[in-house]
Amino acid sequence: MGDLISPDNLKVTLIVGGALVICLLIIWGALRLRARRKVDRRLRKAANDILINFLVPDGIDREIHVPYALLTARGVIVIDVRDVNGHVFGSDAMEEWTVLSDRRRFTFSNPQHALFDRMAAVKRLLPDVPVEGFVVFTNRAQFSKGQPTHVRIFDQLVEELQQEKKEMPSGALDSYQAQWLQLRQEVAMS
């Protein structure tokens, strides 16, 4: 029994355990990156153009991060993607939203407030373009009590945008194109 706890066995156990933890972290990171790329790819197909993970001035000498901005027939849609698993309970008026899953319960701040800040920052740069926004939850989220105003489920939004893109008349983006290109240039310089 004393041989099992020898310093050499302890070192080997720690090295193997550490290597296993590192492997699991690498696999977890790779799976998250793969899921993120799938989201990016589907949004690219649904929109006419897209900007991903960029900073814009917030109007008070700081910058605000925008996860996604899509150029569509509607104008520009700012999107914040959330990946939670479980039943989400939230409303426009609630400051804290709750997620209940089989294994855990947690709360987070109403994400619509940050979305509104992002929309306002983009709107400052695109004054003549309609700007709207959504907090988009992956398909693992369920809103059994109804979805707040600026919330969409990912597949529903993608299908909606793809349908609009199919039905879009030619020239529909002409009035937005110049400002969109200006936004694209400004983002590239920051």
Kindly report the number of other CB atoms within 10 A of residue 59's CB atom. 12
Q: Which residue has the higher pLDDT, 161 or 169?
A: 161
State residue 30's pLDDT score.
60
What Cα–Cα distance (Å) separates residue 146 from each residue in 90, 109, 115, 141, 152? 8, 18, 19, 12, 11
pLDDT average, residue stretch 116-139? 94
Residue 51 phi, psi dihedral angles, 5° rounding: -120, 135
pLDDT average, residue stretch 100-127? 93
Which of these, 177, 65, 173, lies nearest to 117 by C-alpha position? 65
pTM of the full structure: 0.79
User: How far apart are alpha carbons 189 and 181 in whole angstroms?
Assistant: 13
